[in-house]
Amino acid sequence: MSRVLHMLLFAFIASFAPSIARAAEETCENKIEDSPNCPNRDHIIRCTAAYMDKNKNDMLELSELQEGIDALPWIARGVLSIIGGVDSIMDKCDADKDGAISMHGDMQATAETCLKSCIKKRAFKAAFFPDCEL
């Protein structure tokens, strides 16, 4: 299934079937190891560092996030409403509000607000690094 179709499926589940999404999240939250069905936060952080941190400073800067979103097909950019737009992602994930999400500090500090649910982690991975196995 293509990356766009995966994202559309996630959008449907999140938007039109909240009980299914809750059940999927509950199942995913119990998973300890990385899996395509529910990647854990450490996996997302490693893949984000490898695929999106262009200057390798262990921070996802606003410009790097925007560049990643801009590179997506138009329909996939719309589906990212599951996660939120750039401003929403920065608000939820940039704990110190310095305009960059540090892979270690901010991501640890925002565990309860940034990519907490399985559906959001899956959508983020499907959008930006579907083949990441780090």
Element (H, E) at 58: none
Give the span between the Cα atoms of 30 and 11, in whole angstroms.
22
Tens of pLDDT, residue by residue over 44-82, are 999 999 999 999 999 999 999 999 998 988 887 776 766
* 5 has pLDDT over 80: no
72 vs 35, more confident: 72
Is 0.75 topped by the overall pTM? no
* 34 has pLDDT over 70: no
Give residue 123's pLDDT: 84
Cα angle value 39/41/47 (rounded, 5°): 75
Nearest to 122 by CA among 85, 80, 93, 91: 80
